[in-house]
Amino acid sequence: MIRVQREDFDVGVEVAAFSAGDAGVGAICTFVGLVRGGDGNGVTAMTLDHYPGMTERQMAAIESEARSRWPLSDVLVIHRFGRLEAGARIVLVATASAHREAAFQACQFLMDWLKTRAPFWKLEHTPGGDRWVEAKASDDALAERWDG
Amino acid sequence: MKVLYFAWLRTRIGLGEEEVTPPAGIADVAGLIAWLKERSPGHQTAFADLRAVRVAVNQDHVGFDHPVAAGDEVAFFPPVTGG
């Protein structure tokens, strides 16, 4: 399931509800991404811009790809948009499978593909002004490791 | 044809969205960009370095040689930075 929302989410509540009642699930892997501040980057907050419609479409395609590559019982991706303060949650990815290896790998794959394909853009707010975050070649490299 | 701009392309152009009717003969994304650049100095600046620009036609990532036609939704944006 894909959710694109402005509101925060409660990781505990989401994970407890995720795959509840599916006795075949033996492993759940989760990733939570936060707005990083306080390491000298001067970021006090950021605003996430996105492309409504295409975002959901691309994220659904990424979920389908993960399900075709690993035996997953369930997938949950929540991605927020709008203004987020330093420390705020941005994204939650959860994967459920019978065994841990598929859950771990699919979780990493979903994040790697999401970072290079889902149409979101981060505008950082700092005391010195606003700046658009530039895409990193290292993120492209991480996504490409899942090719072929 | 609906054209959308995101992130710094929207800031430079000063528009998030515009409805355009390119002349016959504009058949692909590259042709559309060349035509859009003539619309304002902001368009000119936004499309100055195409290495920093990505495009989607009807919400799918495509290359600059992808065809465009009346009724398409074409979006221009920088490389994505979500997650």
Indicate which CATH number applies to the domain containing B72: 3.10.20.30
In this structure, is residue B20 part of a structural domain? yes
Q: Which of residues 16-55 of B touch A (CB under 8 A)?
A: none
In this structure, is residue B55 part of a structural domain? yes
| Average pLDDT for chain A | 95
- Reported as half-sphere exposure (CB side, CA atoms, 13 A), residue A101 has a value of 2
In this structure, is residue B5 part of a structural domain? no
User: What is the tens place of the pLDDT at every residue in A51-110?
Assistant: 999 999 999 999 999 999 999 999 999 999 999 999 999 999 999 999 999 999 999 999
User: What is the tens place of the pLDDT at every residue in B6-46?
Assistant: 999 999 999 999 999 999 999 999 999 999 999 999 999 99
CB contact under 8 A, A51 and B81: no
Residue A10 domain boundaries: 2-144
Domain total for chain A?
A: 1
Nearest CA in chain B to A52: B59
What residues in B contact A5, CB-CB < 8 Å?
A: none
The Cα–Cα gap between A83 and A7 comes to: 10
- Are A2 and A56 within 8 A, CB to CB? yes
What residues in B contact A111, CB-CB < 8 Å?
A: 83
What residues in A contact B78, CB-CB < 8 Å?
A: 121, 132, 134-135
The Cα–Cα gap between B24 and A104 comes to: 51
pLDDT at A42 over 80: yes
pLDDT at B54 over 90: yes
Q: Does B62 touch chain A (CB under 8 A)?
A: no
Q: Give the rounded percent of residues in chain A with a pLDDT score beyond 90.
A: 85
pLDDT at B48 (0 to 100): 97
pLDDT at A19 (0 to 100): 85
In this structure, is residue B73 part of a structural domain? yes
* Confidence tier at A39 by pLDDT (50, 70, 90): low
- Are A120 and A47 within 8 A, CB to CB? no
CB contact under 8 A, A51 and B56: yes
The Cα–Cα gap between A44 and A48 comes to: 14
Residue B47 domain boundaries: 13-77
What residues in A contact B60, CB-CB < 8 Å?
A: 57
Q: Does A133 touch chain B (CB under 8 A)?
A: yes
User: If you average pLDDT over residues A113-138, what whole number do you get?
Assistant: 94
- Are B29 and B65 within 8 A, CB to CB? yes
Interface probe for A, chosen from B5, B59, B73, B81 (most Cβ of A below 10 Å), is B81
Domain total for chain B?
A: 1
Nearest CA in chain B to A51: B6
